[in-house]
Amino acid sequence: MISTANNLVLNELKKNCVFRLNEGVRMIEKSLRFVEEASFWQKPNPSLNSIGNLMLHLCGNISQYVISGVGGQADRRNRNAEFETEWAGSKEEILSQLKSVTLEAIAIIEGASEKQLIQSYTIQGFKMSGVGAIIHAVEHFSYHTGQIALWVKYLKNEDLGFYDGMNLEALNE
């Protein structure tokens, strides 16, 4: 049986993971406002990925680690297709897909039991706990959100305004 202190820690972990996933979606959505359809599937060079490919990759990763891994649904990921696809829809269609997958993952994270969080899984060939799978998905989402933001800034030479209206110079209390 889980102690009250452990339950508080697990709930805080879940809350913060959900917050970070929502922040990633918000930042990607804000970035896409600067991107024309013609640029969405554009690759800077053959060794880099388009914004569309990165978003498909995020859908695949979060599906595999959270929805299939922790959530127990069938793993239908085709990782190679995430990078090989040259066009799988408009930026709005792919954003809608990303939001849908993220909301499904968030529901699984929020509803995850102690057993699901500490259970051992083999995902993409790696052994990890449910906590490990969720942390991987969140940090992976953040990593590629940064790549998308960088690519958009490179294309448009614009500040994306992620934190407009906030005082980021405030000191810790």
Q: How far apart are CA 166 and CA 113, in angstroms?
A: 35
| Phi, psi angles (nearest 5°) of residue 128 | -160, 165
Place of tokens 């980021």: 168
Q: How sure is the predictor about 44, in pLDDT bands with cuts at 50, 70 and 90?
A: confident
Share of the chain above pLDDT 90, in %: 92
Q: Phi-psi region for residue 166, left (φ > 0), alpha (ψ -120 to 50) or beta?
A: beta
Q: How sure is the predictor about 26, in pLDDT bands with cuts at 50, 70 and 90?
A: very high
Q: What pLDDT score was predicted for residue 2?
A: 59
pLDDT greater than 60 at residue 1: no
* Rg for the chain, CA atoms, rounded: 17
Q: How sure is the predictor about 6, in pLDDT bands with cuts at 50, 70 and 90?
A: confident
Quick one: average pLDDT of 65-86?
96
Q: How far apart are CA 28 and CA 33, in angstroms?
A: 9
- The domains of the chain, with CATH numbers, are 9-156 (1.20.120.450)
Quick one: average pLDDT of 108-133?
97
Question: Greater confidence, 1 or 168?
Answer: 168
pLDDT greater than 90 at residue 94: yes
